[in-house]
Amino acid sequence: MPRFEYAPAPESRSIVDIRSSYGLFINGSFVDPADGGSRKTVNPATEEVLAEVAEAGESDVDSAVRAARRAYDEVWGPMRGADRAKYLYRLARLIQERARELAVLESIDNGKPIRESRDVDIPLVAAHFFYYAGWADKLRHAGFGPDPRPIGVAGQVIPWNFPLLMLAWKIAPALAGGNTVVLKPAETTPLTALAFAEVCQQADLPPGVVNIVTGGGETGRLLVEHPGIDKVAFTGSTEVGRAIAKSVAGTTKRLTLELGGKAANIIFDDAPVDQAVEGIVNGIFFNQGHVCCAGSRLLVQESIVDDVLARLRDRMAQLRVGDPLDKNTDVGAINSAAQLERIRELSAAGEAEGADRWSPPCVLPDRGYWFAPTLFTGVSQAHRIAREEIFGPVLSVLTFRTPAEAIEKANNTPYGLSAGVWTEKGSRILDVAAKLRAGVVWANTFNKFDPTSPFGGYKESGYGREGGRHGLEAYLAH
Ligand code: NDP
């Protein structure tokens, strides 16, 4: 397949104005931490320091929770749903107005290609606020009883893979339901959450309704263990999710967990192969594979495996790895040195355990954190690369002969977040989807998201649903 060269098409970063340092956003203002410190956030594509960001300590988290409680008791809880909706619509419109700036900021802080932050992340962020704004005055019709009430103050901890989108998944339904929030972004990607704090100021959101406490895992722990929190919502690793579940056990706090995944993407012999190859690429190389629902285990019917792999290798050779701000880039930078190390370690384990490793020729930039798109064949179910979440651009390929074998292998994982099925037979899609233990099953597509659609997992992928009408339930007492 010929490789077409493109001239560089860099998005200008002049639209973003990154301050040299950021405080905590508590009770409607940016404040210096009382007992915390600060951390640097870097651009993972260049290792350039972007800003010094405050780290909230115990008394800072306490101030944020108290501010959220006051706002809940005095303003946001008693407010009519229709009035809350006006604020949510205002937030949504401001996000749309500032979309380009937020997309550039997200790509700089996270390393993801601008094409994705511009066309996927930020439009979905606005869509979530629009969608939940619509529910704010209709909660009685959501199917949760005649008079659903808010829960109170929500403590929310989010990861670094979709920083602003995860914020929207958490904050929009919470506010629509009449709750107030204290949110901790991931330490490597705090900048768009802090920009969102400015958006809250611009929208004249009452002080204390949204509080953003930046910091590391310790700040997250302080938040979820704070006795003034009524509800904890967490997205991240299964390991930290488990620790949070333990700390919340025995309290009256409500908990939703959205954890890891090891999704099977199943290609049957009657699948439209070219479309399937696009779906495979989108399933594992979108966002550098830093996706909890990534199609990281490819299950291909044995009779077509040679054809699928040949076309997949050709397609992978077309992927452009490099500058996240270049509009031609398909695969950006790995989010942190620690994550790069984890991907390297698991990929080395794949080779050591006997799988065959392949990457297309690709020149990686000298500075920053990079990993070439990688394909492992000859993978067995016992290999670590078939069992553990790699959270990087690494695909493990397994084969099957019958639908029953495909289902058994797909379900042979401690996770259960998502799956994909590729076949031209509608009856087979329905049959296989019903037998897969996965919260989301995509048919002849992959990694499609919509605010109206619930998302969440089985088994070690966590519990509770985010998105759609179901996503409201986690923030309503009924
Ligand atoms: P973590 O689960 O550690 O991070 C998720 C969030 O939780 C971050 O905001 C983190 O803060 C915070 N946190 C960490 N420790 C605690 C704690 N004890 N109490 C409360 N909050 C805490 O994920 P990592 O970033 O360490 O990534 C490790 C692996 O997890 C990845 O390689 C990947 O496999 C998986 N992962 C899965 C995600 C998913 O969506 N399923 C998302 C992210 C990671 P801080 O950032 O400051 O550490």
pLDDT confidence of residue 1:
62
- Cα atoms found within 13 Å of the Cα of residue 168, Cβ hemisphere only: 29
Same domain, 219 and 244: yes
- Is the pLDDT score of 4 beyond 90? no
Alpha-carbon distance of 413 to 381, in angstroms, equals 9
Same domain, 116 and 130: yes
258 is an active site residue: yes
For ligand 1, atom 11, the nearest C-alpha belongs to: 217
Let me know if residue 6 belongs to a domain.
no
Let me know if residue 12 belongs to a domain.
no
pLDDT confidence of residue 167:
98
Let me know if residue 78 belongs to a domain.
yes
What's the pLDDT tens digit per position in 409-440?
999 999 999 999 999 999 999 999 999 999 99
Same domain, 279 and 378: yes
Let me know if residue 275 belongs to a domain.
yes
Same domain, 203 and 56: yes
Average pLDDT over residues 375-391: 97
Q: Residue 313 maps to which CATH number?
A: 3.40.309.10
Do residues 76 and 180 lie in contact, with contact meaning Cβ atoms separated by under 8 Å?
yes
Let me know if residue 10 belongs to a domain.
no
Let me know if residue 454 belongs to a domain.
no
293 is an active site residue: no
Let me know if residue 5 belongs to a domain.
no
Same domain, 189 and 235: yes
pLDDT confidence of residue 58:
97
- Is the pLDDT score of 478 beyond 90? no
Average pLDDT, the chain: 97
Same domain, 286 and 414: yes
Same domain, 197 and 331: no
Atom in ligand 1 nearest the alpha carbon of residue 223: 20
Instruction: State the pLDDT confidence band at 276, using cuts at 50, 70 and 90.
Output: very high
CA 53 vs. chain centroid, Å, equals 21
| Ligand 1 center to 164 CA (angstroms) | 15
Let me know if residue 229 belongs to a domain.
yes
Which segments within 287-369 are labelled E, that is strand?
297-301, 356-358
Same domain, 315 and 403: yes
Cα diameter, the chain: 65
pLDDT confidence of residue 11:
96
What's the pLDDT tens digit per position in 102-134?
999 999 999 999 999 999 999 999 999 999 999
Instruction: State the pLDDT confidence band at 6, using cuts at 50, 70 and 90.
Output: confident
Residue 331 CA: distances (Å) to CA of 164, 207, 321, 369, 370:
19, 39, 5, 12, 9
Atom in ligand 1 nearest the alpha carbon of residue 260: 41
Same domain, 375 and 397: yes
Q: Which residue has the tokens 């233990």?
A: 437
For ligand 1, atom 21, the nearest C-alpha belongs to: 220
What's the pLDDT tens digit per position in 390-409?
999 999 999 999 999 999 99
Instruction: State the pLDDT confidence band at 2, using cuts at 50, 70 and 90.
Output: low
- Is the pLDDT score of 57 beyond 90? yes
| Ligand 1 center to 158 CA (angstroms) | 8
| Ligand 1 center to 306 CA (angstroms) | 37
Same domain, 253 and 275: no
- Is the pLDDT score of 3 beyond 80? no
Q: Which residues contact 76 (CB under 8 A, 6 or more apart)?
A: 84, 175, 178, 179, 180, 206, 209
Domain residues for the domain of 354 are 264-443
What's the pLDDT tens digit per position in 73-104?
999 999 999 999 999 999 999 999 999 999 99
pLDDT confidence of residue 5:
80
| Ligand 1 center to 240 CA (angstroms) | 6
Q: Could you say which of 106, 187, 200, 292 is catalytic? A: 292
Q: Residue 223 maps to which CATH number?
A: 3.40.605.10
Same domain, 233 and 375: no
For the chain, the domain total comes to 2
Residues with CB under 6 A from ligand 1: 157-161, 184, 186-187, 216-217, 220-221, 224, 235-237, 240, 243-244, 259-260, 292, 339, 342, 389, 391
Same domain, 472 and 398: no
Instruction: State the pLDDT confidence band at 357, using cuts at 50, 70 and 90.
Output: very high
Strand-strand pairing, 21-22 and 49-54: parallel
